[in-house]
Structure 1
Amino acid sequence: MKFMVSFPFRRKQWSDGQPPRHRYQLVGILSHLGSSTISGHYISDTFTMEEKGWLAFSDHIVTRSDEEQVLRKRKSSAYMLFYTQQANLLHKPRTNLKTMGDRAFCAAAPSLWNALPDFLRAPQPTDCFKKHLKTFLFNKTFGSST
């Protein structure tokens, strides 16, 4: 049984048509490799913040991967998808003007905050936040050394 599955890594809202209040991120994929439902092998891909990337688990073998590889390899074998709700998001008010309204602090600040990764939005002391934010922005601008 082979079906191509299109799945998003990040999702702002589901199909209820309401304004997005939550964002979701794909953190795990359970895949079935095999020609039938009664035979085959299960593989798990998991996103970890510690590794800042994807790990593929196949029995006792663990390998690193990235989003492109995961999407390409699991497109036809994804069996179950696991999403997590991203926390500590700020509400962005609706604005009437696209040009000036979205630039207003009350609209721009929540957009910038919500674009930060979870580990930065997590509650932490101010000095730790500043240190992590500087490191994040430096790596985003100049590329990570790892």
Structure 2
Amino acid sequence: MTPLRRTIDVASFTPRVDDAVLTDLHARLACTRLLEPSPGLPWQQGTDRDYLAGLLRYWRDEYDCSTQASWLNGFDHFLADIDGDTIHFVHQKASSGHGIPLVLTHGWPSTFAKYLGFAPLLTDPHLYGVPGLGFDVVIPLAARLRLLPSQPARE
């Protein structure tokens, strides 16, 4: 049996959202027209209108994209090219320098961001009064759910 030898190109990465995309999003939110409520109980015939109106109001008037971007960019993001696919992942090393590798994966409808809040506890347990070396945490984004420009479909 021949051992598999492969080089994987890995590069650091900072997620960014173009200002034009945010401007377009705000314009769409400002122009959104909601249908009148459907007869019957909320959620029986789709999304509850009042809930959706509140969500729309939050995204339009309260959500601060720059705060979220700063939080996301506080983690170490990387891109790896594997067989023509670009994989986006977060890699946080244990503060001890001797972490145990740990991969945290997610599926739909979850998101990699849910795991980011756990990263400090896993990488630096002593900050939380927990003994141990900690983990070298790798959190890949599920395929096709990444913060990258789209890629052509593979054949």
Normalised to the residue count of structure 1, the TM-score between the two structures is: 0.25
| Structure with bigger RCO (C-alpha 8 Å, 6+ apart) | 2
Q: If you compute each CA radius of gyration, which structure gives the higher value, 1 or 2? A: 2
Q: Which has the higher strand share?
A: 1
